Chain A
Amino acid sequence: MRVIWFIADGLTYCFWVYSIALLSSYLFVGVFAVLEMRKYMRMRSFTDYSILASSQYVPGISVLAPAYNEGATIVENVRSLLSIHYRNLEVIVINDGSKDDSLQRLIEHYQLERTDHFVEAAIATKKIRGIYRSRNPVFHKLIVVDKDNGGKADALNVGINVSSKPYIVCIDVDCIIEQDALLKMARPFLDSGDARVIASGGVVRIANGCEIRNGRLVKVHLPDSFLPRAQTLEYFRAFLLGRMAWSRLNALLLISGAFGAFDKEVVIECGGYNHATVGEDMELVVRMRRYMEERHLPYKVTYIPDPLCWTEAPASYKILGRQRNRWTRGTIETLSMHRKMCFNPRYGRLGMLSFPYWLLFELLAPIVEFVGVIASVIACIFGGLNVPSFLTLLGFILSFGILFSVLSILMEVLTFNQYKNSRDILRLALTALLEPFLFHPFIVWSAIRGNIDLLRKKKGWGEMSRQGFSANKSKVYAKS
């Protein structure tokens, strides 16, 4: 009996240390995010981005938009991409072997013609079937690439090969991009400094419930159903707090695949997107950073918190569960591919701070939580649980979590203020109260399933590419 008590004590102790570390990390994120956001907003308050729109000295950007079976909306989406305000721009739509009429619709609507186009295969990819350009000079920025199906990472690599500009912006084709998005994204690449900006991350916001016309966002509303609303809040926490704080330390490990800008030269040096993982967006950033660190080259990964990209979030538990399952696998794969960096002082802050943080608090948190719940249920059954103490602790942690959510709502109100209707904000605050009970457990469970699937080396691995990536929404990674 004594041994059991001893083990229980030990476990409890570990939980305590872990919890305190986790809570401190939250405090750090909160404080750093507020400081960094203040700095950004002040800078933005007097910056006239429109001078970039008319300048010829802005860096050239290729927008890469992989598409798989997006026929229903592709014409409209491409149209909104073409109307982005930017002088030195090329829009590359990569049709990843769609089985629908995506390509046909593009050809008809944009008067495309198959052209001879030499592509230097800087990164090995699946075969390109053809490259199309428009006869109409109004659409001269558009390049459509038709290729054999190979998954999102492969499609992006083809885009990189075709691209003729020094920077690439990778987006999900069904995202709605604000027209001034690239002006804001290009800004960090124009600031001087010894450090080369190798990547710049953008924000993804949730478009469910918003009014959309002609592929453009007209009015922002909070989604009506609970699941997207909870995700809205989750994205607030991730983008207004988490990313902001990490970017202050120049220690961002993840840029969402749905909207991020990269220095193409470094991407190619590193070998492009890796199709061996489902977390290709995170993996690329980690690999690029690792590349720069190992060569002792000064570099920066920046982050732009303006809401520039809007996307439809999964509205059913089934699809959401699958998405989170995949995110979890992607994270584990990325971290294990680069495990060498963990606690390795050679990689500076990255090795000593970001990496361990991801390992301990993003990856391990759901597992610890899951084990904790099981353990307390067992303890409760065997009468080893001090119920009042337990409830106080639970109350403390719950209110801490809610505090963090509410802080992110406050940040939104004070900064970008997209939800003009005050009722939306109050409903969001209510969501913050409910989310730990209704939404969070499901997210934890999906993460656990991701772990299990990875352990079992699910046979469905290769099927990813054949399924395409319509459901493979890019990762946001909320602190939850």
Chain B
Amino acid sequence: MFHLHLHVSPVMPGKAWLIIAMLTVLGMLVALLCLILFFLLRRSRVERLRLKYQDLYGQIIQRAIFWEATKESPEIAIPFKVARSLSRAHLRQLMIFQLVKAKKAMSGTAAANLVQLYHQLALHEDSLRKLTNPKWHLQAQGIQELAVMEQRGSVTRLYRLTNARNEVVRREAQAAIVQLYGFDGLRFLDVINTPLSEWQQIQLLRLLQQSAGTPQEKIFRWLTSSNTTVRVFTLRLIAEQHLQQVTPQVAERLRDDCPAVRLQAILCLGELAATDTAGLLTAAYPGEDLAGKLAILQTLGRIGAEGELAFLDAQLSTPDNRIRLETARALVRTGEEGLKCLDRFPFIDQSPWNEIFQQAKTEWTI
């Protein structure tokens, strides 16, 4: 990146300008070096403090987990050293981080005690304060902290943020409501007109893992939502929760206009595994694209396809090797009858069927 001129000529800027430019750059260079030094010094200070207090806070958290309220001590005892350290903002944040982490892994009284500690140290005030911070990432962080710590008291403020202009804040607020109220928190699905990203769906499914008691009429409505991603999400939810009673409504989604919804409906039916599922799937098969076809074959393998051997047998002769392989797998997984079906296949000794069949068989034995 070094370029030079050969000869000073009128086309060149004057030397004075060059010197000024060079000095500017040098000045910036020195400034950056100072900044690096500044941050290094700050870093080592923060790191020292963190090391010093991390274990201490960890101990308090452990003690809180096993704490039992008695008449004499209605509150968790906080050593003076800890209480004093918490006058510093970043140490409070360190405590919040550790509490949130521990809370995520705990349930029952242990979890309740952690919430108690969070309150006792007035850390919820820190989290609430973040909600009004102009920086979106701090708002998002505050929302998460309040949700993990089950702060149902701040739900009105969280509700307001579900309409926030910033997309990330909005999303986190929606997730927080779900975390606090389970299925009731999914109310936003009724009105959402933007797509639910895969990430958000994963997040919501995770939060709903522990919840029970799905409102059926809502499920019906979401299954016919005009928002494709809501339909996909609902199908996933049905599968995760094993809501057998909505199987007919799920089956209707096999005729959905959107391939992604149909695909999810196939997988969902496999999860619910009703008696007529295999028949439904084979009926939907001809109208599916490749991904749908493969998913149907895979699902047939999962739920067993004793009744659909003729259908599978026919698929072995299709030209696409991917379909042949998936069909062979389904037959192998179906059991003895399926294996017989493979053995009867006229081209069993010919390539590529011999390889495909062998693969399907060995995969199953591993």
Complex A–B touching at CB under 8 A: yes
List chain A positions with a Cβ less than 8 A from chain B: 5, 8-9, 11-13, 15-16, 18-19, 22, 42-43, 45-46, 48, 51-52, 54-55, 57-58, 115-118, 120, 133-135, 137, 140, 187, 189-193, 365, 368-369, 372-373, 375-376, 379, 384-386, 388-390, 392-403, 406-407, 409-410, 413-414, 417, 420, 422, 425-426, 429, 436, 440, 480
Q: Are B199 and A190 in contact (CB under 8 A)?
A: yes
Q: Are A191 and B198 in contact (CB under 8 A)?
A: yes
Distance between Cα atoms of A120 and B322 in the complex (Å): 8
Which listed segment binds A: B218-226, B340-348, B353-361? Answer: B353-361
Q: Are A401 and B5 in contact (CB under 8 A)?
A: no
Indicate whether B136 reaches chain A with its CB closer than 8 angstroms: yes
- Residues on A with beta carbons closer than 8 Å to the beta carbon of B197: 190-193
Q: How far is the CB of A24 from chain B (nearest CB, A)?
A: 13
Q: Are B7 and A395 in contact (CB under 8 A)?
A: no
Q: Are A8 and B7 in contact (CB under 8 A)?
A: yes
Q: Are B7 and A379 in contact (CB under 8 A)?
A: yes
Evaluate whether A389 and B8 lie within 8 angstroms (CB atoms) in the complex, with A42-B136, A133-B366, A372-B3 already known. Answer: yes
- Residues on A with beta carbons closer than 8 Å to the beta carbon of B201: 57
Q: Are A12 and B12 in contact (CB under 8 A)?
A: yes
Q: Are A398 and B2 in contact (CB under 8 A)?
A: yes
Q: How far is the CB of A180 from chain B (nearest CB, A)?
A: 15
Indicate whether B11 reaches chain A with its CB closer than 8 angstroms: yes
Indicate whether B151 reaches chain A with its CB closer than 8 angstroms: no
- Residues on A with beta carbons closer than 8 Å to the beta carbon of B6: 8, 11-12, 375-376, 379, 384-385
The 6 closest A-B pairs by CB, nearest first: A116-B358, A192-B197, A42-B137, A396-B22, A190-B198, A190-B199
Q: Are B359 and A116 in contact (CB under 8 A)?
A: yes
Cross-chain pairs A/B with CB under 8 angstroms, 13 sampled:
A5-B7, A12-B9, A12-B12, A15-B3, A16-B12, A48-B144, A116-B358, A369-B2, A375-B4, A389-B8, A395-B22, A397-B1, A406-B33
Q: Are A384 and B7 in contact (CB under 8 A)?
A: yes
Indicate whether B212 reaches chain A with its CB closer than 8 angstroms: no
- Residues on A with beta carbons closer than 8 Å to the beta carbon of B7: 5, 8-9, 12, 379, 384-386
Q: How far is the CB of B106 from chain A (nearest CB, A)?
A: 15
Indicate whether B283 reaches chain A with its CB closer than 8 angstroms: no
Indicate whether B172 reaches chain A with its CB closer than 8 angstroms: yes
Q: Are A394 and B9 in contact (CB under 8 A)?
A: no
Main secondary structure of the interface of A (DSSP, over half): helix
Q: Which of B17-46 contact A (CB under 8 A)?
A: 18-19, 21-22, 25-26, 28-29, 32-33, 35-36, 39-40, 43-44
Distance between Cα atoms of A116 and B6 in the complex (Å): 69
- Residues on B with beta carbons closer than 8 Å to the beta carbon of A401: 1-2
Q: Are A120 and B321 in contact (CB under 8 A)?
A: yes
Q: Are A191 and B199 in contact (CB under 8 A)?
A: yes
Indicate whether B141 reaches chain A with its CB closer than 8 angstroms: yes
Instruction: Identify 6 new A-B residue pairs, CB closer than 8 A, beyond the known A42-B135, A46-B137.
Output: A18-B3, A115-B362, A192-B195, A395-B22, A396-B22, A422-B44
Distance between Cα atoms of A103 and B146 in the complex (Å): 53
Indicate whether B117 reaches chain A with its CB closer than 8 angstroms: no
Q: How far is the CB of B14 from chain A (nearest CB, A)?
A: 9
Q: Across the two chains, which residue of chain B brings its CB closest to A134?
A: B366
Q: Across the two chains, which residue of chain B brings its CB closest to A4?
A: B7
Q: How far is the CB of B332 from chain A (nearest CB, A)?
A: 13
Q: Which of B40-64 contact A (CB under 8 A)?
A: 40, 43-44, 47
Q: Across the two chains, which residue of chain A brings its CB closest to B320?
A: A120
Indicate whether B129 reaches chain A with its CB closer than 8 angstroms: no
Q: How far is the CB of B326 from chain A (nearest CB, A)?
A: 10
Q: Across the two chains, which residue of chain B brings its CB closest to A5?
A: B7
Q: Which of B247-306 contact A (CB under 8 A)?
A: none
Q: Are B352 and A389 in contact (CB under 8 A)?
A: no
Main secondary structure of the interface of B (DSSP, over half): helix
Q: Across the two chains, which residue of chain B brings its CB closest to A136?
A: B366
Q: How far is the CB of A437 from chain B (nearest CB, A)?
A: 11
Indicate whether B120 reaches chain A with its CB closer than 8 angstroms: no
- Residues on B with beta carbons closer than 8 Å to the beta carbon of A373: 2, 4
- Residues on A with beta carbons closer than 8 Å to the beta carbon of B325: 118
Which listed segment binds A: B81-89, B108-116, B153-161, B202-210? Answer: B202-210
Evaluate whether A58 and B3 lie within 8 angstroms (CB atoms) in the complex, with A9-B9, A389-B8, A429-B33 already known. Answer: no
Q: Across the two chains, which residue of chain A brings its CB closest to B28?
A: A403
- Residues on B with beta carbons closer than 8 Å to the beta carbon of A414: 39
Distance between Cα atoms of A376 and B144 in the complex (Å): 62
Evaluate whether A397 and B2 lie within 8 angstroms (CB atoms) in the complex, with A191-B197, A389-B8 already known. Answer: yes
Q: Are B11 and A9 in contact (CB under 8 A)?
A: yes
Q: Across the two chains, which residue of chain B brings its CB closest to A140?
A: B366
- Residues on B with beta carbons closer than 8 Å to the beta carbon of A403: 25, 28-29, 32
Distance between Cα atoms of A399 and B358 in the complex (Å): 66
- Residues on B with beta carbons closer than 8 Å to the beta carbon of A45: 137, 141
Highest count of chain B CB atoms <10 Å: which of A22, A45, A48: A48
Q: How far is the CB of A52 from chain B (nearest CB, A)?
A: 7
Q: Are B1 and A480 in contact (CB under 8 A)?
A: yes
- Residues on A with beta carbons closer than 8 Å to the beta carbon of B29: 399, 402-403, 406
Distance between Cα atoms of A409 and B28 in the complex (Å): 14
Q: How far is the CB of A16 from chain B (nearest CB, A)?
A: 7
Evaluate whether A118 and B136 lie within 8 angstroms (CB atoms) in the complex, with A5-B7, A12-B5, A376-B4 already known. Answer: no
Evaluate whether A57 and B205 lie within 8 angstroms (CB atoms) in the complex, with A12-B12, A118-B321, A403-B32 already known. Answer: yes
Distance between Cα atoms of A13 and B136 in the complex (Å): 48
Distance between Cα atoms of A16 and B144 in the complex (Å): 53
Q: Are A118 and B195 in contact (CB under 8 A)?
A: no
Indicate whether B309 reaches chain A with its CB closer than 8 angstroms: no
- Residues on B with beta carbons closer than 8 Å to the beta carbon of A118: 321, 325, 352, 355-356, 358-359
Indicate whether B121 reaches chain A with its CB closer than 8 angstroms: no
Q: How far is the CB of A316 from chain B (nearest CB, A)?
A: 25
Q: How far is the CB of B330 from chain A (nearest CB, A)?
A: 15
Q: Are B22 and A22 in contact (CB under 8 A)?
A: no
Evaluate whether A55 and B3 lie within 8 angstroms (CB atoms) in the complex, with A389-B18, A403-B32, A407-B32 already known. Answer: no
Q: Are A51 and B25 in contact (CB under 8 A)?
A: no
Residue among A137, A392, A407 making CB contact with B22, cutoff 8 Å:
A392
Highest count of chain B CB atoms <10 Å: which of A137, A368, A384, A422: A422
Distance between Cα atoms of A402 and B28 in the complex (Å): 10
Q: Are A406 and B137 in contact (CB under 8 A)?
A: no
- Residues on A with beta carbons closer than 8 Å to the beta carbon of B135: 42
- Residues on A with beta carbons closer than 8 Å to the beta carbon of B363: 115
Distance between Cα atoms of A365 and B1 in the complex (Å): 6
Distance between Cα atoms of A48 and B355 in the complex (Å): 43
Indicate whether B140 reaches chain A with its CB closer than 8 angstroms: yes
Q: Are B3 and A117 in contact (CB under 8 A)?
A: no
